[in-house]
Structure 1
Amino acid sequence: MENLENKYDRASKRVKELKDFYRHLKIFIIVNAIFYLFKFGVLQPYLPNGIELRPYYFNWVDINLVIWILILAIHAGYLFRHKLPFLQKWEERQIQKYMEQEERETNKYR
């Protein structure tokens, strides 16, 4: 029974991670779409009178997009880390390395 609960917990954690990633992606798309609509002046007619936004006010939007894409890529890399073979091989090599190191330490005192 414990094994079934353990599998359920892992699956539940995985679903939560996926849900968080898709939420992050949705927020990324919505926020950056609004930023670009302001940058290109599409939303300016809908602003109250007296608020005037110049295009150069939004020069930072491109930098924001690049930084957010990098953050999103890191989030995706973390989420799909089990599907990337080079990360699995690295992890296996590190585990093997530490197991061998521990074995040498153990044998040194015998």
Structure 2
Amino acid sequence: MDIKKIKFKALFQDISSLQDIWQFSTVNTHDVDFIKFRQRSEWLQYTGLDDKDGHEIFEGDLLEWDKIILEVVFEAGSFRVLNEGDSDMLLWFCLPDCKVIGNKYEKKVKH
């Protein structure tokens, strides 16, 4: 994987308003607002893979594949997908036919 492709998606919770705000950051730039690190946050790594529509797939994303909803996780040194809590499949196996439909933190599924 090209080092330029390593990036993270971060969910920061604004403590004053208790609203979730998605912000993007990459590991090879210095444009992150480090003040937000003091707040509650979840960091999700880009898998280096894209769905069938060209959307980047991040850890925590929900995918639709063959009418099944899967959650992307990083487990045992690889990106895998969970189906009802069971991670018996590597993420790349469902490519290129999967589609990002949301993520586990926003709890909304888009079709």
TM-score by length of 2: 0.24
Larger of the two Rg values belongs to structure: 1
- Relative CO higher for 1 or 2, CA cutoff 8 Å, sep ≥ 6? 1
- Larger fraction in strand: 2
Q: Which has the higher helix share?
A: 1
